[in-house]
Amino acid sequence: MLLEKPQHSIFLPDLVLSDLLPDHFPAWKQDTELESVRWLCKATRQFFALRKRRGCIVNSENQLLHQNELGDSKKANEWVCGVLKSAEPRPRLFVDLCVPLLHSLAFRGDADALDRFLRCLIDEFDKAVAHVEVPSGLWVRKSDVVRGLQLYEQVHLARNVRCTSIRVLARHPILFGGMVYACAFALAFLRLRWMEKRTRMLLTIGVIPEFR
């Protein structure tokens, strides 16, 4: 049976994202870029290992197409993980490799589409976390600020990252077979974006982060 594949993914970002990050991010250890790359590979492989993957709402009309996109996505993901593994350890691993891979898998070399996607991710996430700031006043203690940031990460960060990713991915068509990687990339990218903001806030109160 011949199957005509559409240009863009039939997967729904909200379903893929909830399977990739059902709970919270793992704790940082030291190298945030390297750990982000390793998390991306682990999360995507776990997605394909799930017995009930929820790429989209499957029915009799799209079942075969769903299976085909799963197959294409899995093959592409194994290639991605192989490329990333072979590049360890490398400075700026996430920026130097994960972004070009997104360019290829999700946008097929369309630099303008990639740029719009990344800018939208940044803008939407910055709005989502704009309220998270270091309080001012003589009564503010460094330990309270650190605990407050830790609490935000434990309770709110993953949800804000997922919600932002859903909004942005819904506005930017992703190529057939590229949605799983695009979703994992968005989650890891925004967590790194949060780390930049977190580091700046800690430095303003004279706290040197253990990892940046």
pLDDT in tens, 183-211: 999 999 999 999 999 999 988 888 877 76
Cα–Cα distance list, 91 to 107, 139, 161, 188, 207 (Å) = 25, 40, 24, 16, 24
The predicted structure's pLDDT at residue 56: 67
Nearest to 164 by CA among 134, 186, 180, 142: 186
Q: What mean pLDDT comes out for the span 139-147?
A: 84
Range with top average pLDDT, 24-33, 48-57, 116-125 = 116-125
CB contact burial 122-136 (16+ within 10 A = b; e otherwise): eebbeebbeebeeee
* Residue 89: exposure state from Cβ atoms within 10 A (0-12, 13-18, ≥19): exposed
The predicted structure's pLDDT at residue 129: 96
Quick: pLDDT tens for 58-70. 676 778 888 899 9
Task: With cut-offs at 50, 70 and 90, classify the pLDDT of residue 138.
Answer: low
The predicted structure's pLDDT at residue 187: 98
Q: Is the pLDDT of residue 37 over 80?
A: yes
Task: With cut-offs at 50, 70 and 90, classify the pLDDT of residue 212.
Answer: low
Q: Is the pLDDT of residue 21 over 90?
A: yes
Nearest to 183 by CA among 108, 96, 73: 73
The predicted structure's pLDDT at residue 11: 92
The predicted structure's pLDDT at residue 177: 94
Q: Which residue is listed with tokens 């920026």?
A: 95
The predicted structure's pLDDT at residue 121: 98
The predicted structure's pLDDT at residue 178: 96
Cα–Cα distance list, 137 to 23, 68, 140, 172, 198 (Å) = 34, 58, 6, 42, 19
Percent of the chain residues past pLDDT 70, beyond the cut: 94
> What are the structure tokens assigned to 211, written together?
């990892």
Cα–Cα distance list, 170 to 1, 13, 72, 174, 191 (Å) = 31, 7, 21, 9, 19
Q: Could you tell me which residues come within 8 angstroms of residue 69 by beta carbon, excluding any fewer than 6 positions away?
A: 5, 9, 10, 11, 55, 176, 177, 179
pLDDT, mean over the chain: 90
Residue 114 exposure: Cα atoms within 13 Å on the Cβ side = 16
Quick: pLDDT tens for 86-134. 988 776 788 899 999 999 999 998 999 999 999 999 999 999 999 998 8
Do the Cβ atoms of 17 and 187 come closer than 8 Å?
A: yes
